[in-house]
A and B are shown apart, each in its own frame.
Chain A
């Protein structure tokens, strides 16, 4: 009896092994592919990150602390937070509105609107920056009018913010559109039949259904807003007052500061990026857990 069961067990075992072998690559290929992937990631992603931290602390803790707590660094940090703090909420509002109208309604010019939204992805940020210099600069009528009324846009925080908004605005809307499209409008219709009004439907049905996609979009938008360089450098001018963190790092690197200073400041951005990544992975995990439940 026990012999029989053991025989059966081995039988099943070899059966499963056979199945497994039939559907996987040989070990050599497996290890080769893994090695290539790990090497590539190490050289291009991990190594630079380690270098940043290594260089930052190379000249000792004191110099690191000095660079990080420097007046200009704090001002750049403030500028980055200001620009990001205005950009993200505005892009959330815009993104929700645009995704709602594209995802839930049929109208003429829909694909045109979609391509418009993609413009910031398509054109170089430097060109975007130049565009704003043309619009808000004194050579344009609008720029002239702004100057007459003593409103500073270029080379001041509004310019930096506007450039950041422009560069980051597809992120939220692009995350929301596929989700809204796949969910259709039946739930909203059901809510409407049950007597719910527009705002109520949005807050209680539409918004909770896109919650995770929205958060994901916010994370991506936030990461890009903090790190944007190209568009901002054009509109910020050459003043320490309007520097954001990436601009400040560049200035330190080009200037005569301590060798470790740009790296020290860069660690701030790197840490913010890592935090963003962790939050992003958490949200992805949440989304997949939710989908698995379906």
Chain B
């Protein structure tokens, strides 16, 4: 069953948790709401569930074409998995899973045998067949999470909503459960929405990812597309580390950063028509698109820097640098390339951006917004000293 919300706004006092948000989720899709804390992702999930009431100015909430905005949470037919499981601590695993069935009005309540059969089926699905008589506090975190999921599925909900489903688990269990949830979704094809602040989780698990920030949805696309074609600086920043340089964009597409100028091999802009005008701009470069060389590259934008630290424990070597203005930069190179360069911490070198992304030729508040959530944002503007 598809889910569609239109123009949802939610304020908590002065704070706007959601500001006019609309989203349409197709039937059978697994969608991630991804964003930092305070971005409104959990609020949106709870509004879809009916656990939170949006502001009166908000639009409708459709489940498969039917407006459920006026319906109470118990009547919406949603399965909800809470971040901290919220299992009933005084009930066994069996009773927890059976709860939703046993509280149905007498007329539509299944018989004892039917309930038993349904619970056994779910216990089998979550691979906890022999733990039916345990209490929640006798289970591990991963087991509790699976019981919470089975409990939500017992009533055959139309949509499944998960709030930070793996947030309270340790890294290894998290990855295991992720794969398990993905396979489960492929089996039952229930329209599902989950909230997460972990970009790996969102990109690996979801069919589509909605990246949220400050109560807005910044971008809603397939994981691959969101990662490779971020539509705002925020999305680029949130889905991995990025260097940010302030400078000027020339008429012919050359980049001016301080006294250094030149073109980059690849340049992607949100709006190419803006290239014509000479304007101040922010340039975004992923660490793996920032090449380190001993000499400046002819005809390309290259500027000097100093190597601060080298992290070599990993698949690729991560190099922390500093521009002559003291701005931090981050580059990623392969082990082979690093050996050939023969550089070490403290050495001088040149950096050359290969692929540069511009979101708005003019320095707009959109670009400024990314600086509020710095991850690896680094700017090197107005360089004056020669190397």
Contact = CB atoms under 8 A, between A and B. Distances in A.
A205 B135 CA distance: 14
Contacts of B135: 293
Contacts of A294: 137
A196 B99 contact: yes
A192 B90 contact: no
A205 B151 CA distance: 15
| Residue in B82, B90, B151 whose Cβ sees the most chain A Cβ within 10 Å | B90
A165 B75 CA distance: 41
B137 A189 contact: no
Nearest to B51: A189
- On chain B, which size bracket covers the interface? 20 to 34
Contacts of A21: none
Interface string B61-93: 000000000000111001110101011111000
B171 interface: no
B88 A205 contact: yes
Interface residues of A, number: 19
Nearest to A293: B137
Contacts of B50: 193
A194 B51 contact: no
B74 A190 contact: no
Interface in A255-288: none
Q: Which of B75, B89, B135, B155 has the most CB atoms of chain A within a 10 A radius of its CB?
A: B89
B49 interface: yes
A293 B104 CA distance: 31
B89 A194 contact: no
Nearest to A194: B100
Most chain B beta-carbon contacts within 10 A, residue among A192, A193, A197: A193
A187 B86 contact: yes
Interface string A172-189: 000000000000001101
Contacts of A194: 74, 99-100, 103, 151-152, 155
B334 interface: no
A14 to B, nearest CB: 39
A191 interface: yes
A152 interface: no
A294 B103 CA distance: 27
Nearest to B79: A193
A193 B80 contact: yes
B82 A209 contact: no
A194 B100 CA distance: 5
Nearest to A209: B90
Given A190-B80, A293-B138, A294-B137, A195 B86 contact: no
B88 A187 contact: yes
Contacts of A189: 51, 80, 82, 86
Contact of A190 (B82, B90, B137, B138): B82
Contact of B88 (A190, A195, A197, A211): A190
Contact of A196 (B51, B74, B86): B74
A194, A209, A211 — which one has the most chain B CB atoms within 10 A of its CB? Answer: A194
Given A189-B51, A190-B80, A293-B138, A195 B90 contact: no
Nearest to A201: B103
A197 B137 CA distance: 26
Contacts of B73: 192-193
A294 B100 CA distance: 25
A195 B89 contact: no
Contact of B100 (A195, A197, A293): A195
A130 to B, nearest CB: 44
Contacts of B51: 189, 192-193
A110 interface: no
Contacts of B78: 193
A89 to B, nearest CB: 23
B103 A190 contact: no
A103 to B, nearest CB: 16
Given A189-B51, A293-B137, A294-B137, A195 B103 contact: yes
Contact of B82 (A186, A195, A211, A293): A186
A294 B152 CA distance: 23
A186 B74 contact: no
Contacts of B155: 194-195
B118 to A, nearest CB: 13
Nearest to A208: B90
Interface of B: 49-51, 73-75, 78-80, 82, 84, 86-90, 99-100, 103-104, 135, 137-138, 151-152, 155
Given A187-B87, A195-B100, 17 more contacts: A193-B78, A193-B152, A194-B74, A194-B103, A194-B155, A195-B74, A195-B155, A196-B74, A196-B99, A196-B103, A200-B103, A204-B103, A205-B88, A208-B90, A209-B89, A209-B90, A293-B137
The 9 closest A-B pairs by CB, nearest first: A194-B100, A186-B86, A196-B103, A190-B86, A195-B74, A193-B80, A208-B90, A294-B137, A187-B86
